[in-house]
Structure 1
């Protein structure tokens, strides 16, 4: 049967074995269920993905659906076409309260609140979360028990005590703990304390205009990290961020504990079993001296292009619901370790006995949904964190990780260095806002500032730490899949 409507879907190709194969297989499954549509899924270069979408938008031919990483939310909101109109439209408004589209049940009301909230603006779901992650603590169970540690630490003070026990134990590893110098951990540490990266409620109540990298919450995290390192309890590999190096240290028993993304659980458990030890999984440690305010999440989301005709828009919306139905969302979790994005997908996995066979995967879902943490009175649910939304989020993370690298490697004073980092981050934010407000995120007839602006908005520049960081994590995950 001749295909009548082509749905162009662009996603970053992370180059994992089978990554794009899986995307295209789901596209074919949708085509079989909806013979009037052809799904054209294109995997684009991870490094230059936002730039390619911007260039396509400038030519008036953006993809119908584009998958952006969470830190690109402001750039997606600011992207405009040649006519100055926003390229993307509200997913929730396009759905218009319907319960199904082309026979595909609408699942947005079943999203885990943490992810729905992250991709909402003023209560409106602007894009569909597709990959969901948070940060966790993974430990070598045998090392902890040998050191007399009966359960995983949850607070920073408990981590301090456990590290001392491990360091003093027989056959102790070289270092008790490690994690990568990456922005995701700063975000998590701030979220748990109620700290912000930028003003206006992290960019949620208005466009962010002021950067905060020397807040009390940030300095509490940095100082705790610095003390662990100074006492010889934290393994600093000397690289930014060195996902692969910290992974290797854990797999090869050089450390007992590693803080990492929930997406690493599959790889870390496989590596542990290959090397003959068991893993325990727990929550990312928090500052027990202040109230627990929220848990940070990350990942990607699917943005819907505006201006589509009714049939094309319904096809794109139906495809987005199809990709997130319980079966597909459950299988995505099995494939990538991504948190089941809906309650129904979690229940399906639970009913099938998946979590009984893989209990270490249950923690991430429970923590972002309703983990009974000791941090809260009565062990109540973790609050939803107001994740940051602002321009040049990636550049902001470059600044903080470089500052932390100097604190660890050169003994820089945290307050002095992070005050300077705030000035650096402010300059990036000012440059972003000046361009975005004046012209929108587009190429206005050969504007000489366009290439600079796109670099600020994206991960396109190979010379920037964050690009190298993400590429390195891709390589790590490829090596350990």
Structure 2
């Protein structure tokens, strides 16, 4: 309860390290909700997951067993949040769908849980139950410099690896062509996407969707197909390796400055890429990421984050948190968040609203990401892996690929070594999780429901 007698709903959100005012639209929605529901105050605190110690600090918050009513969780930490234990000994979070309990409105706010796009709903569900609320959703896209492509006699953007490689070679053969043709950040997300495209699995038990993941495979046929193709592009001088891991900004600049013809990047960057390229006189088209044409297409993995609901809240606080979720992501709210952040409109209602406004007709580059996620076959492989230490698995993939690109390491051998390292991490995570659950079960009950002491980000 706040000092003015209002019911306080505390929320912890991930802020963006470089985008000033990134969360301002959410703060405005919180203020609007408070005005419409004068008994409630939505109080927002922030953390920076992408800072030097951000992930460790966030995991520590989960392990303390005390969190605010709503917590913003990056997709790689979904299993951590599901496994987190409260000070009372039970789960730290409760599934949102279970808390809603079939209601059609909460505090007068229409429930929108059934309106989420299918891919996002599947990713954040388990056994058919929506566990957390998709908030910021993205996927990978290919950005093509059509100015360069037309000069090479190419009028359509390739949709498979073979066609993309041929287009890269054609661009580099043109008079005054670039020294390299394509670039992307060395990041674990693109490995996941490539495996997902080919309907491959990163971990066992249906990608961690039917039971807890116990085995990881970073040397699968699908992953090695991607790594070997990537290695060939690099050896043949087609792929530009900036020399840094996860160099999203360096690869962005290489494309928008006209030094390459193709860029793999996030759908969140669609507007910045198109705008920066336009200033340089470059005509850009956004498309789905090309896939391995030798195998059937499975789908695109998503990125972003979701909102988890704390367990053990008082009924008044829980209803306030649930009502705010519905308000935050109703058609107007989800559409506004898309416009300000670049994340995909996460509900069908928001997509329809934007379409009716002519948003996609004016900015077609924002339409490609929803189209790609909508093309998923819905399988566990296409849904994406649910596994502990996923961010560390990404780091293992990055280091292995850097060794392939920079040291000439054999992909099969190097990714087999990476599998051993990742398996050790997963085994340790599962062991620690089991021990923590066992310890909590024997600990005395404690009062729960207070907000964590998380400082406001500067």
Q: Give the structure-2-normalised TM-score.
A: 0.91
Q: Give the structure-1-normalised TM-score.
A: 0.87
User: Is 1:306 the equivalent of 2:311?
Assistant: yes
CA distance in 2, matches of 1:238, 1:406: 11
User: Is 1:12 the equivalent of 2:9?
Assistant: no
User: Is 1:409 the equivalent of 2:406?
Assistant: yes
**1:440 shift after superposition:** 3.8
Decide whether aligned partners of structure 1 residues 107 and 276 sit closer, same or farther in structure 2, where only a CA change above 3 A counts: same
Q: What do the CA deviations read for 1:11-49 (whole angstroms, capped 9, x no partner)?
A: 112142111322221110110111110010101232455
Q: Hey, what does 2:87 align to over in structure 1? A: 82
Query: Would you identify which runs of 4 or more consecutive aligned residues in structure 1 move more than 6 Å?
Result: 441-445
CA distance in 1, matches of 2:98, 2:246: 39
CA distance in 2, matches of 1:442, 1:277: 59
**1:53 shift after superposition:** 5.6
Q: Hey, what does 1:473 align to over in structure 2? A: none
CA distance in 1, matches of 2:46, 2:297: 39
Decide whether aligned partners of structure 1 residues 60 and 283 sit closer, same or farther in structure 2, where only a CA change above 3 A counts: closer
Q: What do the CA deviations read for 1:147-170 (whole angstroms, capped 9, x no partner)?
A: 111100100011111111111112
Q: What do the CA deviations read for 1:115-174 (whole angstroms, capped 9, x no partner)?
A: 000000010100000001011100111001111111001000111111111111122112
CA distance in 2, matches of 1:55, 1:253: 43
Q: Hey, what does 2:29 align to over in structure 1? A: 26
CA distance in 2, matches of 1:417, 1:60: 38
User: Is 1:428 the equivalent of 2:425?
Assistant: yes
- The unaligned stretches of length 5 or more in structure 1 are 371-380, 446-481
Secondary structure class of the residue paired with 2:8: strand
Q: Hey, what does 1:377 align to over in structure 2? A: none
User: Is 1:218 the equivalent of 2:223?
Assistant: yes
User: Is 1:249 the equivalent of 2:254?
Assistant: yes
CA distance in 1, matches of 2:93, 2:15: 21
Aligned with 2:353 (options 315, 339, 348): 348
Secondary structure class of the residue paired with 1:259: strand
Q: Hey, what does 1:475 align to over in structure 2? A: none
CA distance in 2, matches of 1:56, 1:386: 27
CA distance in 2, matches of 1:170, 1:5: 67
Decide whether aligned partners of structure 1 residues 55 and 174 sit closer, same or farther in structure 2, where only a CA change above 3 A counts: closer
- The unaligned stretches of length 5 or more in structure 2 are 443-458
**1:296 shift after superposition:** 1.0
Alpha carbons 1:295, 1:382 under 8 Å: kept:
no
Aligned-residue CA RMSD (Å): 1.9
Q: Hey, what does 1:36 align to over in structure 2? A: 39
CA distance in 2, matches of 1:441, 1:363: 46
Aligned with 2:269 (options 248, 264, 269): 264
Q: What do the CA deviations read for 1:85-133 (whole angstroms, capped 9, x no partner)?
A: 1110010010111111111111111110000000000101000000010
CA distance in 1, matches of 2:100, 2:439: 27
How many pairs align?
A: 435
Decide whether aligned partners of structure 1 residues 233 and 389 sit closer, same or farther in structure 2, where only a CA change above 3 A counts: same
Which region of structure 1 is more displaced relative to structure 2, 383-392 or 121-130?
383-392
Alpha carbons 2:219, 2:415 under 8 Å: kept:
yes
CA distance in 2, matches of 1:53, 1:166: 45
Q: What do the CA deviations read for 1:219-267 (whole angstroms, capped 9, x no partner)?
A: 0000000011111100011110111110110011110100111011111
Decide whether aligned partners of structure 1 residues 383 and 164 sit closer, same or farther in structure 2, where only a CA change above 3 A counts: farther
CA distance in 2, matches of 1:56, 1:406: 34
Secondary structure class of the residue paired with 2:197: helix
CA distance in 2, matches of 1:423, 1:411: 20
CA distance in 2, matches of 1:351, 1:44: 35
1:191-230 superposed matches below 5 A: 191-230=196-235
